[in-house]
Structure 1
Amino acid sequence: QPHFAAGADIKGFQAAYDSGSEERLASSLVEAVWILDRLEKPTIAAVHGYALGGGLELAMGADFRFLAEDARVGQPEIKLGLIPGAGGTQRLQRLVGFQKAKDIVYTGRQLSAEEALAIGLADRVFPADSVLDEAMKAAAEWALGPTRALTAAKQALAEGNNLPLSDAMEIEAQAFGESFWTQDAREGVAAFIEKRAANFSGH
């Protein structure tokens, strides 16, 4: 059975002890997750099998997580005497809340797809043989949609997430104003009035 990512190569940790530096262990993964997180387009992690440790951290960098019914996720670093190093203590609490994140990180336990869905760590759960197809279907719908509006929405959500409401509303207002004058917005409004499907162009 394929796995999304079962975590780091623990044997490689010994080299870090020998060299006296742990920075390279997490730095490349941290960078990869940031790149994924900052992509302008919506992203989906389609998770089969295990997504543990760095695997879950990578999945949390995506906008959405679609899990197979038999998927298992978790942050097991505590069982090695370590803590997550690529966002597992920070992105996790933003998704599931502070108290639930403590439970997951402190225990290092694995969560089922059903539990992940219930606490907001997963967005949807599908049979294992269809999770990738469902992710591709959702991605295709976005690709054919108003991509500039999707980009603006993603940026407004991200930038306003940790700001005071008044500041976040200013970001939203600016993004709305910019999206209002796009060709896609004009097409969407016209299609609604004319009672037809919109033909978005990404402009």
Structure 2
Amino acid sequence: MGSSREWPDSAQSPPTRGSTSSTGSASTSAWSTRRPDPPLIGSDVLCCGVRPHRQRGAAVGGGLGLGAEFAWACDLRVMADGDFFIGQPEILLGIIPGGGGTQRLTRLIGTHRSLAAILEGKPFTPEEALANGAVDKVVAQDKVVAQAVDLAEHFGKRSKASVAAAKRSVYFGGSMSLEDGLHVERAEFFAQVMSKEGQRLMLDYQATTAATGELPLYTPGTYARALASGSVPGRRSTSGR
């Protein structure tokens, strides 16, 4: 398997036989005597959540079907509290989710919970969605957009290259066998370790440890500052060098 750093910005794996184009129409060029793969409904939904250099968030009041699938396709989801719901009702129409619901909801909340929800067709309330892991936060309706923006800004303070590497490792590696997933992780890890930013922060961490005799993240208050700023404060951040 090639280095994951060779994958395109859309973070999609290389095309396979019968794969869909960006417009969602099925390619039949590789299928002279075989049945082509069915057209993929909502192909834009399938790739909108994994742009490696961007944090994607969904501000959700409520959504059914494709609306829910747009939310599942994002990295983070904030849902309004109150008389709202989100889910996949397609089974009640004699069909199944076709925009990624069977795949992304399963990866979010697990096989059994996803299957039960899809088979019943009953949507989640905000409380159920939060408890099941389908959304990350439930807030008052008038706070939804502000909370989504706050989350995006919070995670946006992290190293963009590291965010991209982590997302590729989780999204792609998590869909592979453990052996292949670990291979993806190792490739991304070593790429970040050898990057200028990774080297700078790690060397600073080591220098701070040597100067203070303590691991910085075990120093009271340091972890909280690191979470807020997006990187571990060290000698450079305190000395100005």
Question: More helix by proportion, 1 or 2?
Answer: 1
Counterpart residue number, 1:38 = 50
How many angstroms does 1:97 deviate by? 1.8
Counterpart-to-counterpart distance in 1, 2:153 and 2:99: 29
Moved over 4 A (4+): 195-198
Counterpart-to-counterpart distance in 2, 1:95 and 1:158: 11
Per-residue CA deviation, residues 117-174 of structure 1 (Å, 9 max, x unaligned), is 1111111212211121111112112333200000001001112113222222221111
Counterpart residue number, 2:171 = 158
Counterpart-to-counterpart distance in 1, 2:188 and 2:103: 27
Counterpart-to-counterpart distance in 2, 1:121 and 1:142: 19
How many angstroms does 1:197 deviate by? 4.9
Counterpart residue number, 2:79 = 67
AA aligned opposite 2:121: G
AA aligned opposite 2:142: D
Per-residue CA deviation, residues 59-94 of structure 1 (Å, 9 max, x unaligned), is 111112111112310111122222211112222222
Whether the 8 Å contact between 1:42 and 1:154 is mirrored in structure 2 is: no
Give the share of equivalent positions with the same residue, in percent.
Answer: 31
For residues 126-165 of structure 1, what are the structure 2 equivalents within 5 Å? 126-165=139-178
Counterpart residue number, 1:54 = 66
Change (3 A) 1:197 1:59: farther
Three-state SS of the structure 1 residue aligned to 2:79 is strand
Bigger CA drift: 52-61 or 94-103?
94-103
Larger Rg: 2
Higher RCO structure (Cα 8 Å, ≥6 apart): 1
TM score, norm. by length of structure 2: 0.65
How many angstroms does 1:54 deviate by? 0.5
Q: Please, which runs of 5 or more residues in structure 1 have no aligned partner?
A: 1-22, 199-203
TM score, norm. by length of structure 1: 0.76
Q: How many residues align?
A: 172
Three-state SS of the structure 1 residue aligned to 2:48 is helix
AA aligned opposite 1:36: C
Whether the 8 Å contact between 2:90 and 2:97 is mirrored in structure 1 is: yes
Counterpart-to-counterpart distance in 1, 2:51 and 2:94: 33
Counterpart residue number, 1:189 = 202
Whether the 8 Å contact between 1:43 and 1:63 is mirrored in structure 2 is: yes
Counterpart-to-counterpart distance in 2, 1:78 and 1:164: 30
Q: CA RMSD in A?
A: 2.2
Change (3 A) 1:197 1:64: farther
Whether the 8 Å contact between 1:191 and 1:197 is mirrored in structure 2 is: no
Bigger CA drift: 83-92 or 148-157?
83-92
